Amino acid sequence: MNTSITKLAKSIRYVVAASVTLGSVSAVTPAFAQEEAASIEKIAVVGSRAAPRSIGDSPVPIDIIGADELAKSGNTDMLEILKGTVPSLNVHSNPISDAASLVRPANLRGLPADSTLILLNGKRRHRSSVIAFLGGGINDGAQGPDISVIPSIALKQVEVLRDGAAAQYGSDAIAGVMNFVLKDDAEGGSLAVRRGEYYEGDGTSTEVSGNVGMPLTRDGFANLSFQYKNVDATSRSVQRPDAQAFGEAGLNVANPAQIWGSPEINDDITLFGNVGLDLGNDKEFYMFGNYSERDVRGGFYYRNPHTRGTVYSVDDGATLLIADLTPGPVGQVNDGLGLGDGIDCPVIPITSANVTSQQDYIDGVQNDANCFAFNEILPEGFTPNFGGNITDTSLTIGTKGELKGGVLEGALYDLSGSVGRSESNFVIYNTINASLGPDTPRDFKPGSYIQLEKSFNADISKLVDMGLYEEVNVAGGLEWREESFQVVVGDEASFTAGPLTSQKFGIGSNGFPGFKPADGGTSTRRNYAGYVDVEAQVTESLLLGGALRFEDYDTFGSTTNYKFSAQLNVTDDLSLRSSISSGFRAPTVGQANVSNVQTSLDGGVLVDSALLPPTNPISVELGGTELQPEESQSFTLGAIYTYDNFFMTVDFYSIDVEDRISQSDKITLSESNKLALKAAGVANVDSLQQVSFFTNDFDTTTKGVDVVANYSADLFEGDATFSLAYNWNDTEVTKFSAITGDFKVKRLEEDLPNHRGTFTWAQAWEEVSMFTRVNYYGEYQGVHVDYDATAITADSAVTVDFEVSYFLNESITLSAGAQNIFDQEATRINIPASQGIPNNNWGGVYYETSPFGFNGGLYYVNATYNF
């Protein structure tokens, strides 16, 4: 190590292997901290099993985002904050996407959300219970942690490792690692109030947050944070042509009938705590955790009162679906043959713009108490709302310190245990269970998903004199993990097969049927792992590192992964670095076992489809097999240049992933498939047109370049910092089968922009500071309703963020700013004329794949009190 790092290591008594072996770091300078940045090196705890490293002294790239920069954002969502700072991170808005609307997935380096490992204070963070069944192409089926629950006010810094690290941390670290470091102050604090709204006048957000540091006896600290916010829904919608026609025909249809926008978020409360206590004799106790809860409610697809099958129409979409309510001989609703009173319900073709105005409907349904159609109670159709209550809790307790005596004299140890739990209680409003007929409830609780994870870790590291330039850091450790995924049964009305089932009315809450008792239960998997890690300063200018990790799962077996890294100081100002590694991502327990019925558009038509476990007999018949881990090979090569106040890194990366896990394409069911599903006890089979399942079905190669540069100077009688970050990323699907589908391949390759960049200017004076960021987004594939006929190449775009702060005194700061200050529009839906589809056919205005969202400009004000 260099001299500064050696001194740093000696000053930090209890540095143990954090949970990641990262390496060389490229900094993103915190805004409004220019004077501190000039005098304090940025230090990453993650990335090395040795002492914390300066960001310029490590063999793999890391971004460090300080607390000040995290606070300079008009958005209160951690995903949006990070997206504006890390160009290789992409986050999409997900309107009408089932559970993906409740917990949004994020993509680092063009890979799905669950290919990035998330750490909190260096410890693995548990997954969300939400599986993104409609995740927008790249995230279909992803199940990653819920980053949005982490409030910026609780953080000391965020460390983003942009390199594979499975050999250090295990599963998921293919694209990289994000480590969220909690504040650890024993005194002081802050209280902030923020209010924001989109230029369109919706999406109003109100947030109150606070942080306080307190002493825990004379030898410790307790740092506590909270955040409470409410966010109104947005709508970027127009009226659908079919809904418009029903309105013109005299029906009371809402305008717009279907909402494309961000969901409403209510009572979003988050509590974080971080505790540390010096036990004496070079030992320390630590504990941290969180409790978070929020209610989310978003839009869904409009149900057309003429064509929605199993509710309003028979299979042909042109004949009204009518139920005979006459009791049969044994008191049961009959099969539609009118056996109770000898009177048959009529067959009514839909021949007008409003079937309820037809005379045959008036005579045969409206005036006949024995015959029923849903047009009697919902003549204008209906639009369900999908939402849920999301709770997230975690607790980590551990001790670390220095061993005394024996062969391990001076070694640093870290022993910890963690538990994390995520629960999603789903709710669907304003819908029906058609099989219950006129007695159907309108709101349902379809059930819950619960993700529970437990882990124990033992890490040790020791400096060993091997006659090299400096002592060699040798580290090793053991890990045990248990992961379970539970499906909780919904309320009976959400899944029951009502008395109209035999008359071809759909079973379960329309849009998201409840989980049946047969679906309920808990699936569990356990694994253990061991690793060794060596880092050696071979000469004054050459640093070498290597890691090897063995991991065994009680489901699919074992895997062994490696990593080698190196940094060469060519001159005092220029360093070269490189790494090569293998990695893996184990299929989640949820992906391997979950089943679900979802409503989505396929070819522009609303259909019900079933997601089955890959080992279900129907899945096997269609090509499904037991899931195996994804496997990756990564390579990076980069350079670091520093001169006075200038810092720059350039890194090339290549990531090959084999057997990637995703949902298969939706496969149309044959009649024999349906008979087999019925025999297996699957409900509502007659309304199911398609099935899908998780599969290891394709390989990808992702290549890219990251460029990060920072420069600080005295400017305009103040302190200025300029930051440039650029990412080029390209993904190619190198192998796939028919069950993946050509359009899904196209989405994987083209949905995300190949080019992204940001340029930031932060300027500070004694009483005022200013922050400006210019964001560039290259061309991307615009896709609407996951339909290939809507796809176009959308234009590149530039957005600008701006904030100005006034320091009223030493304690109070007033800020005002805007994201996308010039209100740059996302690309409007422009379906090729050759498709013959109106642009507003499904009520949307903008392509939902826009990399900067579709809500437009947002302004905000903020007041902060520091004490």
pLDDT per position as a tens digit, 397-418: 999 999 998 889 999 999 999 9
Q: What is the pLDDT of residue 13?
A: 30
Work out the average pLDDT over 525-537.
96
Query: Among 48-57, 409-418, 434-443, where is mean pLDDT lowest?
Result: 48-57
Tokens 């200017």 sit at which residue? 761
Q: What is the pLDDT of residue 8?
A: 35
| pLDDT above 80: residue 237 | yes
| pLDDT above 60: residue 826 | yes
Work out the average pLDDT over 695-705.
94
Q: Which two tokens stand for residue 66?
A: 């300080």
Higher pLDDT, 693 or 20: 693
Work out the average pLDDT over 297-321.
90
| pLDDT above 70: residue 98 | no
Q: What is the pLDDT of residue 858?
A: 95
Nearby residues of 533 by Cβ (< 8 Å), 6 or more positions away:
17, 21, 49, 168, 461, 473, 474, 475, 476, 545, 546, 547, 548
| pLDDT above 80: residue 188 | yes
Q: Are 842 and 601 in contact (CB under 8 A)?
A: yes
Nearby residues of 782 by Cβ (< 8 Å), 6 or more positions away:
790, 791, 792, 793, 794, 827, 829, 830, 847, 849, 850
Q: What is the pLDDT of residue 16?
A: 34
Percent of the chain with pLDDT over 90: 72
d(CA 16, CA 25): 19
Confidence label for 328 from pLDDT (cuts 50, 70 and 90): low
Q: Are 45 and 53 in contact (CB under 8 A)?
A: no
Q: What is the pLDDT of residue 41?
A: 52
Work out the average pLDDT over 566-589.
96
Percent of the chain with pLDDT over 70: 90
Higher pLDDT, 448 or 342: 448
Give 203-251 as a DSSP string.
--EEEEEEEEEEESTTSEEEEEEEEEEEE-----B---HHHHHHHHTT-
Give the tens place of pLDDT for each residue, 59-84: 888 888 888 888 776 667 788 888 87
Give the tens place of pLDDT for each residue, 78-96: 888 888 788 888 887 778 7
Work out the average pLDDT over 681-687.
66
Averaged confidence pLDDT in the chain: 88
| pLDDT above 80: residue 336 | no
Q: Are 183 and 155 in contact (CB under 8 A)?
A: yes
Give the tens place of pLDDT for each residue, 467-518: 999 999 999 999 999 999 999 999 999 999 999 998 989 999 999 999 999 8
| pLDDT above 90: residue 362 | yes
Closest CA relative to residue 325, chosen from 313, 314, 334: 334
d(CA 625, CA 612): 12
- Beta bridge pairs of residue 597: 610
Q: What is the pLDDT of residue 57?
A: 76
